[in-house]
Amino acid sequence: MTTATPATDATPLRVVRARASVSRFAGLARAEWTKIRSVRSTVWTLLLFVVITVGLTALLTTLVVHSPNDPRAAERDARILADPVGFILGAGIGLGQLTICVLGVLLITTEYSTGVIRASLLAVPKRLPMLMAKLTVFAGLMLVLAAIVSFGSFFVGSVLLHSMTAVSLSDHNVTRAVIGAGLYLTVLGVFSLAIGLLIRHTAGGIATVIGVVLVLPILTSLLPGRWGAHIDAYLPEQAGSKIFGDRPEAAQLLSAWEGFGVFCLWTLVLLVLGAWLLQRRDA
Amino acid sequence: MIEVREVTKRFGTKTAVEDLSFTVEPGKVTGFLGPNGAGKSTTMRIILGLDRPQSGSATINGMPYSDLRDPLRTVGALLEAKSTHTGRSARNHLLFLAQTQGLPASRVGEMLELVGLAEVAGKRAGGFSLGMSQRLGIAAALLGDPQVLLLDEPVNGLDPEGVLWIRNLMKHLAGQGRTILVSSHLMNEMAVTADHLIVIGKGRLIADSSTADVIERGTEKSVRVLTPDADKLTELITSDGGKIASAGPAPAADSDGAQLLTVTGMKARRIGELAASSSVVLYELTPQLASLEEAFMELTSGSLEFSVHREGPVHGSGPLLAQKEAAN
């Protein structure tokens, strides 16, 4: 396998040296796409996201429809009937969103753990364009996949739930909820990436995101009084998920879009902080 | 051309590089030499814009690395630490790098061919041997056909075949007028590869001159003299400006009152003349040439990160040195 005589002079570059900045960014975006598709873990995580979310929606709605009638079930059914689209979307996304949390973190932390970040930053020493390209590609990919998952879950769920109640996209707020779920998942991916960018370690990053998304809401929902309700409502996951389903027990402090706006704001703040640190820290 | 100007880099309270300045000229292989922990990698990372120095600057062809457009077309780098994803194939690793620089995808195949990885191009880089990983690193460094190359310990862990390959490649590339900075902690390797040496220790510049000069300077020659008339010869030598580094009874085989002197600061020829002028008998007069390793130890002594207590005079028998000699 040894090439005895190096032959670099046989392969000089015949490429135009100057490039427009538009094509430069397109090149960076293509590079980020190559990074995502060329690693098995990212591809598997994305597949898992689709399968888990749609699968769980189907499973949970089926269980609800076919569960025996007991007093506890009646109470639950009443809640479902009050917000059927919220139930359908929440059923799969509740767990499925964790794959997106993991993926968002992994996308940046594996660069650090494997050392690819050095290659990446040598190629793009200004650093910020690399991050922008990564965000663009990941958000674009998420938008498409999350839309598929969101609409897929809704159709599967509404068909299965049909014997209980009829939900259609033309119903009040249903389209908003279904599209909103896709947007929520996309922003959640970016939110997780921002946390990965700040923490730079896979385990720490995943633990932090899961903590914020799953654990914090449980703790803050126990906080007493008006302040507790405000803290609870303005948490990233609590605020963001309002766009596709209400938790009836939570205080109604934010409208669906306001909540989503708060979630976007959280994400933006973390991103700006992460970008600032990316520029400053030694790689 | 690479220019490093008064660079200082501290990590917390630890100073990795201190007030370091040097220039790397095109058209030759410049060796960057120093013991482990001397600051070689840090300096290279500063040149490449990965680390930010507290003060000073580093430029490539007059520009900071971060201002280069499509930098891989100007500078190629092989870093000591791995920079490939274990789950990504060699081809995809090079492909994403090529895409960032607007290089044609065909360039990837050419580079894989060049470094002899074409057959395993689709395999996960995590399964590569050390030698294959180094080759992939070299392929990444040469991807943009750069004028400037920085290679951090490229021969580390390579088999002799691989070492020879890299050595020839570097000479070949330097012959094309490229600027090549290659770091190593192995003096012997540098002596056969580099035309010019920059030696650092504890983050400071120790030497910056041609390889021949560094070896010459570091080789503090001594002369071994065996004589039955040690007292008289000692007087002659010291009054003529020489130094007796050590004196003691001769090894058993030649003993009949003969003494063994180690003389520094004076050539064998002059000692012979002095002895002849006063009719002092000499049994042996041998110039002691220090090895390259010793020259290096000499230059960097006192600048070792994990300092080894060295006893005795010039080429004492400190444990590290003793080990090196045993290994030779």
User: What are B85-96's pLDDT values in tens digits?
Assistant: 999 999 999 999
User: Using CA atoms, how far apart are residues B153 and B203, in angstroms rounded to an integer?
Assistant: 17
In terms of Cβ atoms closer than 10 Å to its own Cβ (0-12, 13-18, 19+), residue A154 is: buried
A residues 198-257 closer than 8 Å to B (CB)? none
Q: How far apart are CA B54 and CA B56, in angstroms?
A: 7
Beta bridge partners of residue B285, listed in sequence order: B225
Both tokens assigned to B226: 């065996």
From the list A4, A28, A110, which residue is nearest B85 (CB)? Answer: A110
Q: Using the predicted structure, report yes or no on whether residue A43 has a pLDDT greater than 90.
A: yes
Higher-confidence position of B158 and B320: B158
pLDDT at B288: 76
- Cβ distance B49 to A35 less than 8 Å, yes or no, reads no
Cβ of B99 and A28 within 8 Å? yes
Calculated CA dihedral for residues A243, A249, A250, A254, nearest 10 degrees: 50
- In this model, does residue B302 exceed pLDDT 50? yes
Question: Tens digit of pLDDT for each residue in B258-293?
Answer: 888 888 888 888 899 999 999 999 988 888 766 566
What is the average pLDDT across A51-56? 96
User: Tokens at residue A98, please?
Assistant: 């964790």
Average pLDDT score over residue span B69-86: 91
pLDDT, one tens digit per residue, over A217-274 is: 889 888 888 888 888 889 999 899 999 986 655 557 888 999 999 999 999 999 999 9
pLDDT over 80 (residue A18): no
Residue B35 one-letter amino acid: P
CB pairs under 8 A between A and B: 136
More confident residue, A140 or A227: A140
* B88, B100, B147: best to mutate for the A interface, most A CBs within 10 A: B100
Q: Quick check: A4 pLDDT over 80?
A: no
Averaged pLDDT for residues B35-60: 94
Mean pLDDT of chain B: 85
Alpha-carbon gap, residue B157 to B173, rounded angstroms: 22
pLDDT value, residue B110: 95
| pLDDT over threshold 70, residue B308 | no
Instruction: Tell me the whole-structure pTM to 2 decimals.
Output: 0.82
pLDDT band at A115 (very low <50, low <70, confident <90, very high): very high
Question: From CA B137, how far away is CA B126, in angstroms rounded?
Answer: 13
Q: Any CB–CB contact under 8 A between B117 and chain A?
A: yes
Who has greater pLDDT, A38 or A66? A38
* Alpha-carbon span B72 to A106, nearest angstrom: 26
pLDDT in tens, A205-214: 999 999 999 9
- Could A6 and B73 be called an inter-chain contact, meaning their C-beta atoms sit closer than 8 Å? no
Average pLDDT over residues A59-74: 83
Inter-chain touch B172–A6, beta carbons under 8 Å: yes
Distance in angstroms between the alpha carbons of the first and the last residue of chain A: 33
Give me chain A's average pLDDT, please: 89
Residue B4 pLDDT: 97
For position B139, what pLDDT does the model report? 95
The alpha carbon of residue A35 is apart from the nearest alpha carbon of chain B, in Å, by 7
A123 touches chain B (CB under 8 A): yes
Residue type, B194: A
Cβ–Cβ under 8 Å, residues B270 and B276: no
**Ranges of each domain in chain B:** 2-210, 221-288
- Give the model's confidence band at B72: pLDDT under 50 very low, under 70 low, under 90 confident, else very high: very high
Q: What is the pLDDT of residue B295?
A: 65
**Option in A38, A118, A121 nearest B89 (CB):** A38
pLDDT at A191 over 80: yes
Give the residue-averaged pLDDT of B39-53. Answer: 95
The torsion region of residue B303 among left (phi > 0), alpha (psi -120 to 50) and beta comes to alpha
Mean pLDDT check: name the lowest of A6-10, A97-101, A140-144: A6-10
Helix (H) or strand (E) holding B10: strand B2-11
pLDDT beyond 90 at B211:
no
Q: Determine whether the interchain pair B172/A32 forms a contact, defined as Cβ–Cβ distance below 8 Å.
A: no
Strands laid side by side in the B259-264 sheet: B243-249, B259-264, B222-227, B284-288
- Give A67's pLDDT tier (boundaries 50, 70, 90): confident
By the CB < 8 Å criterion, does B65 face chain A? yes
The verdict on a CB contact (< 8 Å) between B96 and A31 is: yes
Write the pLDDT tens digit of every residue in A179-189. Answer: 999 999 999 99
Query: Nearest-CA neighbor of B182 among B53, B61, B47, B50?
Result: B47
Query: What is the domain partition of chain A in residue ranges?
Result: 22-280
Q: How confident is the model at residue B117 (pLDDT cuts 50, 70, 90)?
A: very high
pLDDT attached to residue A166: 86
Q: Would you give the distance in Å from CA B19 to the centre of its chain?
A: 20
What is the arithmetic mean of pLDDT over B82-87?
90
Touching check for A118 and chain B: CB below 8 Å? Answer: yes
The verdict on a CB contact (< 8 Å) between B99 and A19 is no
φ/ψ region of B294 (left if φ > 0, alpha if ψ in -120 to 50, else beta) reads alpha
CB-based contact (8 Å) between B163 and chain A?
Answer: no
Fold of B221-288: Alpha-Beta Plaits (3.30.70)
Please give the pLDDT value at position B266: 85
Q: Tell me, what's the pLDDT at A83?
A: 87
pLDDT at A93: 94
User: 3-state SS of chain B: helix, strand, coil percent to 5?
Assistant: 40, 25, 35
**Residue B176: strand, helix, or coil:** coil
Lowest-pLDDT choice from A157-171, B98-112, B216-230: B216-230
A94 compared with B327, residue with greater pLDDT: A94
- The residue of B69, B72, B80, B85 whose CB has the most chain A CBs within 10 angstroms, and thus the best one to mutate to test that interface, is B85
Residues of B in contact with A114 (CB under 8 A): 82-86
Find chain A residues with C-beta within 8 A of B49's C-beta.
Answer: 121-122, 125
Whether A13 has a pLDDT exceeding 70, the answer reads: no
How many angstroms separate the CA atoms of A272 and A186, rounded?
Answer: 18
| CATH code for the part of the protein at B2-210 | 3.40.50.300
